[in-house]
Structure 1
Amino acid sequence: MLVDSHAHLDHERFGDELELLLGRAWQAGVRTILSIGIGEGPSSMDGALKIARAYRDKEKTPRIYATAGVHPQEAAKWDTVALSNLDALLAEPEVLACGEIGLDFYHNDNPSIEVQRECFRAQMEVAAAHRKPIIIHCRPGTALDQDADEPQDAWEQCLGMLEQHWAPTGLRGILHCFTGDLGQAHRALALGFMISFAGNVTYPSAGALRVIAGTVPADRLLIETDCPFLAPIPERGKRNEPALVARTAEVLAQVRGISSTELARLTEDNFYSFFHPADAVPAS
């Protein structure tokens, strides 16, 4: 059955429709969802955990797990209160990982590169203390270059920080919504990371990304929606939701020359092998 390994279930675009969209996900064959706990900033990163607990015993509803973390776009809000809250959340068994965390150089109004790096490094320390994996957001761009002496490469900095600060912990992670090149994928794989692909892998312009998706080792592959963003073709431009992970799975199955059923089973096995949650039997 299908796993959506990255969904923002607490996003305001879902409003009061969450129960309906979880029902549609179930009908589409989705049995597990990882709800990403970044909220609208550090003060609301417990939203994913609240959803996971609210739907824990619902029939015909995917099993929901949670994460917690401060998105790089909110890095300026990182403080001792956020650190304490993250520390407490990562102690909860339903919170499987710290994330999404990382670097985002895309928008002019993003926090400075140095502020993002410090927030990223600090969260890696908290995650390592709890022996929990991290989920990485890396979005390149030139918007922050004016504050630097030379162009800044988000991928180079992100992977460099992982190699310096995360690799020594012996822990692993996930590169969510991968958009890098083959060399960057190989560096992540060498670190033991999983690589997850979202709906943008279905876009006509994503030929190079599909080639990479076809070469990722079978035991390192995950799929996601990143909903409500990045709806796959033919729903591009609409609000994304967990049910549509089935479409991304279809495209990746074609790329890899296997059936959609095999792709679903493979990525479900990978998810549960990676996280080893206490209640490790998927919803049925």
Structure 2
Amino acid sequence: MFDTHVNLHGEPFADDLEEVLTRARSVGVSRFLAICDRFDNFPAILSIAQANDDIWCSAGVHPHHAKDFGSLTVEQLIDAASNPEVVAIGETGLDFHYGYSAEKDQVESLQKHIAAARNTGLPLILHTREADDLMADILEKEFQKGAFQPLLHCYTGGADLAQRALALGAYVSVSGILSFKSAGEVRAVIADVPMDRIILETDCPYLAPVPMRGRRNEPAYLPFVADALADLKGMSSDEVKQITEENAIRLFSKVTAS
């Protein structure tokens, strides 16, 4: 399995990261993608990837922090992506639920990330919350300037954004949310996403899946996400693991190239 979205840097795993990784490897997680949330954290995230042959990373700024990195340039993102361990741009996106950064700052940051993804050919990891229509509009408008590879990470949005993004060749990643009793609307949307466009993630340390809800999430819980997707699609967990791993390796093609 490939856990395509892990947040390994910082306090949650400061004391036991090696044990966390060992547990994940023991249940079949063979690849990890460590996500960059703030560009000033990039060196720490890159160092984790450099220290582990089965970990790669991204370069970017989460929409919450867009206001703090207004001076970030496309060239800085492209330069970061020149590292062999960097296999994706982001996470970036739009989040109007909390409003930690103004819409203008988030849109400008997103556009820079899109330009970097287009230039490097790397997948663009997109976070969207309460911004479906604007996200779809921006993706479609930007595609007219030149193609890039979108990934709707930890998808909880509506069917319209999902289908408009899929029409652009996007992939969709599912997390432990898929297993939540309250997530019926999410399951309905994912039910209509083709299996060859779906990948798995934990988004650890957040969003621990059933039956681990309430605990710190970690990559070792990825099989429970696979189980939830298998239940939804009427497939075996083994089939889901195989297909989603193949999808992830195809999406993050720089992983196999390295």
| Corresponding position of 2:84 | 93
Q: Over residues 53-102 of structure 1, what are the superposed CA-to-partner deviations in whole Å (9 max), with x where a residue is unaligned? A: 1112xxxxxx1111010111111122445655423211112211101001
The offset of 1:255, in angstroms, is 1.0
In the other structure, the counterpart of 1:146 is: none
DSSP-derived class of the 1:170 partner: coil
Equivalent pair of 2:175/2:225 in contact (CA under 8 Å): yes
Q: CA deviation at 1:201?
A: 0.9
Deviation at 1:168, TM superposition (A): 3.6
Change (3 A) 1:114 1:80: closer
Q: Does the Cα contact within 8 Å between 1:65 and 1:95 map onto a contact in 2?
A: yes
Q: State the distance in 1 between where 2:127 and 2:30 align.
A: 24
Distance in structure 1 (CA, Å) of the matches to 2:152 and 2:83 = 23
Q: 1:74 to 1:176 in 2, by over 3 A?
A: same
Matched to 2:39, the amino acid is P
Tell me what 2:124 maps to: 134
Structure 2, gaps ≥5 residues long: none
28-37 or 46-55, larger mean C-alpha shift: 46-55
Q: RMSD across aligned C-alpha pairs, in angstroms?
A: 1.7
Equivalent pairs, count: 258
Give structure 1 stretches of 5+ with no counterpart: 57-62, 141-153
- In 1, the alpha carbon distance for the partners of 2:88 and 2:128 equals 17
1:232 Cα deviation from its structure 2 partner: 0.5
Report the Cα offset of residue 211 of structure 1. 2.4
- Shift in Å at residue 166 of structure 1? 3.9
Could you tell me which residue of structure 2 aligns to residue 217 of structure 1?
194
CA distance in 2: counterparts of 1:88 and 1:280, whole angstroms: 18
Match of 2:220 among 243, 247, 269: 243
8 A contact 1:42–1:74 mirrored in 2? no
Q: Deviations over 1:230-263 (max 9, x none)?
A: 0001211211000111101011111111111110
Partner of 1:60: none
1:75–1:111 contact (8 Å) kept in structure 2: yes
- Residue-by-residue CA offset, 1:146-200 (whole Å, 9 max, x unaligned): xxxxxxxx11111111111145422212100101122221111001100011111
Q: Partner residue of 1:66?
A: 57
Q: Output the TM-score relative to the length of structure 2.
A: 0.94
Q: Distance in 1 between matches of 2:56 and 2:206?
A: 19
Match of 1:261 in 2: 238
Is the CA contact 1:11–1:228 (under 8 Å) kept in the aligned structure 2? no
1:10 is aligned to: 9
* CA shift for structure 1 position 116: 0.9
TM-score normalised per structure 1: 0.86
Helix, strand or coil: the match of 1:4? strand
Check whether the contact 1:272–1:280 (CA below 8 A) recurs between aligned residues.
no
Kept in 2: contact 1:103–1:137 (CA 8 A) = yes
Per the alignment, residue 150 of structure 1 pairs with none
The whole-number CA distance in structure 2 between the counterparts of 1:278 and 1:228 is 23
| Alpha carbons 1:222, 1:271 under 8 Å: kept | yes
Cα deviation 1:98-117 (Å, max 9, x = unaligned): 01001111114x11111111
Amino acid at match of 2:51: A
Once residues 50 and 225 of structure 1 are traced to their aligned partners in structure 2, the CA distance between those partners, rounded to angstroms, is 21
State whether structure 2 residue 155 is matched by structure 1 residue 178: yes
Structure 1 runs (4+) deviating above 4 angstroms are 81-84
**3-state SS, counterpart of residue 169 of structure 1:** coil
Q: Which amino acid aligns with 1:20?
A: E
